[in-house]
A and B are shown apart, each in its own frame.
Chain A
Amino acid sequence: MLSVRPTKEMASMTVQTDRPGTGPVEVHKSDGGGGPRTQQSKRARSARLAPYLLLLPALAATLVLLGWPLVKNGLLSFQNLNMRQLIQHLTEWNGVENYTEILGSDDFWRVTGRSIVFTAVNVVLIMIVGTLVGLLLARLGKKMRLLLLLGLVLAWAMPTIAATTVFQWLFASRYGVVNWVLAKLGFEGMADYNWFGSQMSTFTVLVILLVWQSIPFVAINLYAATTTIPKELYEAASLDGAGAWKSFTNVTFPTLRPFLFATTFLEVIWIFKAFAQVFAINEGGPDRMTEILPVYAFIEGVGNQHYGVGAAISLLTILVLLGLTSYYLRLVLKQEEDEL
């Protein structure tokens, strides 16, 4: 299954393959362009320019399609921009008014707290179940492993909105399978239960949906990581008299720790931004009680046509997300700098 895996080894290979002094590019690398103007330096200059030319389209796309919207978002957040200004193309600056309004409202803080709790619950469940499934994969025989991998790949491949729609059907109050099973198990009151009628039950469905969608990523990643642990380590551990638990804590876990760490933060980012699922399942309802920050920004901004306020909420959302992931981001950047 996992035949091509360009991971850390390749990153270090990059460093080796282009050590200075192996190609024509490096000859004039450090002279800053002040070399003698001969035929050869002309060629060297075009060689020096080559990487920038190759990267130019990517750089231009990033600046125009990512950088510009970010700047625009910042500008919009300082404007009084509602339906009237939208239709008449007016630009009315109103300083930090949007921000004082949002930060002074209970709604924003309630939604922020809710988003953080929602993310935490999901990520904890995903990491625990995903890790256990990954470890199980490593333990299974070949046929059973293939079967479980097939299940994981199917759940992984299922498009988001299709999965959300299917979960609406599974949890439908009439003829939904979940209510039928619960009623058969003895919870008679659940026979016609409306899962989308209250905050907690809607969140329950969302958590099950997100956990189901995310387990494959964690489990397969983790299983791939366990295959990199040399068998000799376990043999050595058992020679030293380590039992199953000891060899897990001393051999398996230390190897998996970096993977677990990185995956946890990717899941935090992914769940925190889970707009499509939360919006599609109940549009943030009932009564706006299942809105998480991205949905809140959308409903305030686009839905209620307070675009300036919506832009300010978006910016604050990005800041919250940066805060939640800053530790991981710092670590990744530092690691990358050491490697390059």
Chain B
Amino acid sequence: MKRSLFGRAWPNVVAFILFLGLVFPVYWMFATSFKPTIDIISENPVWFPVDFTFEHFNTALGAPNFWTLVRNSLTVTVGAVVFSLLIALAGSFALARMRFKGRRGFIIGFMVAQMAPWEVMVIAIYFLVRDSDMLNSLIPLTLFYMMMVLPFTILTLRGFVAAIPKELEESAMVDGCSRMQAFRKVIFPLLAPGLMATSLFGFITAWNEFPLVLVLNKQAEAQTLPIWLQRFQTNFGDDWGATMAASSLFAIPILILFVFLQRRAVSGLTSGAVKG
């Protein structure tokens, strides 16, 4: 059955328009951040930058505390991801490979915990953290970010562990491996895609988190990049070049991670059917 030229062409045309619409905000962020100010505040938009400048990046990088906040963001994000992976690895192994009383309860509990409305729990968390004298510290942030991603990490890793045939592990043990060795040498390498998918999800969640740090860490040196970015425009007036450079700096790590890991990430995220 042959389709008409129109019938064959329209999906491609629509797809291309969609592509432009999806990409334009990302493109415009980078384009603006590289354009000289004169091209940013021109009556007609300069669609393709002709002159390039790093002036806006210099403004953004030179903003007070920028490097402190980069370090803060990296600390809480990496900390949250690593701790949640360690805790989840143990738990998911139990849930996928062992039978015990309460197993179903654990799984359902984690499914419910996955939907926890963190955005409206900030007031209660503020009081808990204040009473422990931990305001303006990175430790509570790391712990709560860890908890935000833990249920998803456990449930997703459980799927990946369950997908590894038990026989592989058993034959390794027949060949003289201990259970721990079998885990390290057989299961762990096969889990790599699952670990990548879940850590990407954790990385994005922690890197993006906004309401909790907004409430807990009011001190400028104790904040993270999302707060810095949200206030940037207020602090720098209508300097859109610098604001877009700041956005680019904040977005680049995630965009790179996503593009590199997209194959695993997308399948991992869709399997868990959850999003940040």
Task: Write the residues of chain A forming the contact surface with B, with a CB cutoff of 8 angstroms.
Answer: 1-7, 10-11, 13-14, 17-18, 20, 22-23, 25-26, 29, 48, 50-52, 54-55, 57-59, 61-62, 65-66, 68-70, 72-73, 76, 133, 136, 139-141, 144-145, 147-148, 150-170, 172, 174-175, 177, 180, 212, 215-217, 220-221, 224, 262-263, 266, 269-270, 273, 275-276, 279-280, 293-294, 297-298, 301-302, 307, 310-311, 313-314, 317-318, 321, 325, 329, 332-333, 336-337, 340
Contact = CB atoms under 8 A, between A and B. Distances in A.
Contacts of B78: none
Contacts of B154: 58
Given A159-B226, A160-B276, 7 more contacts: A55-B106, A136-B14, A144-B11, A153-B258, A161-B226, A212-B22, A221-B270
Given A159-B254, A168-B233, A175 B41 contact: yes
A210 B246 CA distance: 21
Interface string B37-78: 000111011000000000000000000000000000000000
Interface string B246-276: 1110110011011100111011111101111
B127 interface: yes
Nearest to B120: A314
Contact of B98 (A1, A50, A61): A50
B117 A4 contact: no
B91 A2 contact: no
A175 B40 contact: yes
Interface of B: 11-12, 14-16, 18-23, 25-26, 28-29, 32, 40-42, 44-45, 86-88, 90-91, 93-101, 103-104, 106-113, 115-128, 143-144, 146-147, 150-151, 154, 156, 158-160, 162-163, 166, 193-194, 197, 204, 207-208, 210-211, 214-215, 226, 229-230, 232-233, 238, 240, 243-244, 246-248, 250-251, 254-255, 257-259, 262-264, 266-271, 273-276
A144 B117 CA distance: 38
A331 B159 CA distance: 20
B91 A153 contact: no
Contact of A5 (B146, B251, B257, B267): B267
A220 B98 contact: no
Contacts of B111: 332-333, 336
Given A147-B19, A159-B251, A160-B208, A61 B150 contact: yes
A175 B103 CA distance: 58
B119 A50 contact: no
Given A144-B15, A169-B243, A174-B238, A156 B100 contact: no
Nearest to B29: A166
Contact of A270 (B14, B106, B275): B275
Contacts of A141: 12
Q: DSSP majority for the B interface? A: helix
12 contacts: A1-B267, A2-B270, A6-B163, A6-B271, A10-B162, A48-B100, A61-B150, A62-B110, A69-B128, A165-B230, A165-B243, A180-B45
Given A153-B262, A340-B104, A221 B273 contact: yes
Q: Which of B111, B143, B226 has the most CB of A within 10 A?
A: B226
Given A151-B19, A169-B240, A224-B270, A62 B150 contact: yes
Nearest to B126: A302
Contacts of A17: 96-97, 162, 166
Chain A to chain B: the 10 pairs with minimum beta-carbon distance, closest first: A157-B258, A151-B22, A73-B124, A6-B159, A51-B94, A65-B147, A54-B94, A314-B120, A58-B91, A275-B119
A6 B127 CA distance: 40
Contact of A276 (B26, B120, B211): B211
